Amino acid sequence: MGWRRTLTALLGALAIGGVLVIPASAAEAEAVAPCPAPKKALRGLWLASVGNINWPSAPGLPAERVRTEYRDLLDGARRIRANAVFVQVRPTADALYPSEFEPWSHWLTGEQGKDPGWDPLAFAVHEAHARNLEFHAWFNPYRVSKQGDITELAPNHPARQHPDWVLHYGDGLYYNPGVPEVRAFVEQVILDVVRRYDIDGVHFDDYFYPYPVAGHLLDDDRAYREHGAAFPDLADWRRDNVDRLVSGLAGKIKAAKPWVTFGVSPFAVWRNGKTDASGSDTAAGIETYDDLYADTRKWVHRRWIDYVAPQVYWHIGFPAADYAKLVDWWSREVRGTGVALYLGQAAYRIGSPISPQWTDPEEMPRQLKLSSAAPEVAGHIYFQIHSVLANPLGFRDRLSNDIYRAPSLVPPRTAVPDWGRPWAPSPAVARVDGVPQLLVKSTGLPSAYYAVYRAERRGCATMLDTVRADANGGAVFVDRTARPGVTYTYLVTAVDRGHHEGPAGRTRPITA
């Protein structure tokens, strides 16, 4: 109970003195400063719900099992010092949250439309933020079902109520991007989540128009006749349909909550250089511009999106799509736009016999070293979380012990309004049961979280971790790595929702 008494005393000091910071002498202030900061980087993990790839692990599980699985995944993410998760909340035009627009997902309940009796999305956001992980809500805009029988959908499914919205293609069902009502509906679904939940981002993957299936025709002639008069070319009309969704949604998200980011993770080849001189030096069989009708390059240049995360899922030197060449191409495309570049990493291929390169433990570390050296690359997202946490070829350990051995802040959002740099927080530190504990309080602008740095006596302070601010702007941080008998000085910075970091507040030295 000693720590409770100490924190009560610290709170009392705040009430009496108005500020918790313990003034340092001039000599102490000069003795400690933050170490030169490494490059800030997003470290993200995809959590897929479709097919029960990651979470939940199976349909129809008891609620507590679903919650436990999620907490375990987030704890694993924190152990490798990730700072963001991208969680699929709308896998097949259904929902992992209560929605007035779409039925509950059968990937969650085992029966589409069945109410699980709780709100997994509210839980998922809360648990991520409790660990100071960014939460990006991952939506698939057009996929309705991975099977082709519309009568297998829940009776109240919008696709059954509006069969004229639906394309039957390959073995699946898709909303038709060429129907204006479809675009309005998809926007409505996504903005409902933006407004009701404290998410940090809206995320699309690589599925727009469906990937080509040999021998199958995408029959959208009727919609083209009704809505495509301005486009003599069918392909141009299809691209315009997707452009309209992306550009329209971008503006509406920012109008609702300016700090919520909007980003896309496309197939990494926009166009091959032999198709278009502006394209990449690749020879991939799929090109997003021509086959998925997604002009991802335009979205970057027009700043409709806050970041792009191309799925660069090939090894360095792969003849048809060289990882290194694609990193270079995307770096040039985002340069000067203000759009952040994150790279989608193929963790699921580590250890795969698909090629000798993927059985080499150094392939993925080489990719990270190569891409991190590019100034435009602002981070990486791994597909998918189990592929990292399963430690293939020792990669999870390599992240924890080497590549990500120190924590990292998410880079500031250049496309998000800067509300002014956060003021220095007021940290106070006490030794409670032999362990240093910090009580942090915001003294100025609202803070989303705090970054905690530590130095031994004189010298520079390295970042220990981040801690989420509570509803009142305060936080408690326990330094469980402090060594008994060692004297430390702590520096704390406040960080806002756009990841703008303020100046440091500091403590006087304390001996653990």
CB 504, CB 492: distance < 8 Å: yes
Q: Which residue has the tokens 């403590």?
A: 507
Nearest to 252 by CA among 302, 206, 189: 189
- At 413, is the pLDDT very low, low, confident or very high (cuts 50, 70, 90)? confident
CATH 3.20.20.80 residue ranges of the chain are 42-403
Instruction: Report the Cα 85 to chain-centroid distance in Å.
Output: 5
Contact 295, 242 (CB under 8 A): yes
pLDDT digits (tens, 9 = 90+) for 461-479: 999 999 999 988 899 999 9
Q: Which superfamily, per CATH, for 2-38+418-511?
A: Immunoglobulins (2.60.40.10)
Residue 17: band (very low, low, confident or very high) from pLDDT cuts 50, 70, 90: very low
Average pLDDT taken over every residue of the chain: 91
Give residue 313's identity as a one-letter amino acid code. Answer: Y
pLDDT in tens, 62-89: 999 999 999 999 999 999 999 999 999 9
Residues 6+ apart with CB under 8 A from 452: 438, 463, 464, 465, 466, 467, 477, 479, 490, 491, 492
Please check whether residue 370 is in contact with residue 408, taking contact to mean a CB–CB distance below 8 angstroms.
Answer: no
Nearest to 257 by CA among 196, 216, 183, 320: 196
Residue 395 has pLDDT above 70, yes or no: yes
Whether residue 25 has pLDDT greater than 80: no
Nearest residue to 492 (alpha-carbon basis) of 429, 432, 445: 429
Q: Percentage of the chain surpassing pLDDT 90?
A: 81
If 0-12 CB within 10 Å is exposed, 13-18 middle and 19+ buried, where does residue 23 land?
Answer: exposed
The secondary structure of residue 307, as a DSSP letter, is E
- Nearest-5° Cα angle at 124, 119 to 130: 130
**C-alpha 153: how far from chain center:** 30
Q: Residue 378 — φ and ψ, nearest 5°?
A: -105, 10
pLDDT at residue 247 greater than cutoff 50: yes
Q: Measured between alpha carbons, how far is 302 from 342 in angstroms, rounded to an integer?
A: 18
Q: Is pLDDT of 37 > 80? A: no
Q: What is the pLDDT of residue 447?
A: 84
In 3D, which of 145, 140, 158 has the Cα closest to residue 101?
158
In the chain, ranges of CATH 2.60.40.10 domains? 2-38+418-511
CB 416 within 8 A of CB 460: no
Q: Indicate the pLDDT class of residue 190, thresholds 50, 70 and 90.
A: very high
CATH superfamily of 42-403: Glycosidases (3.20.20.80)
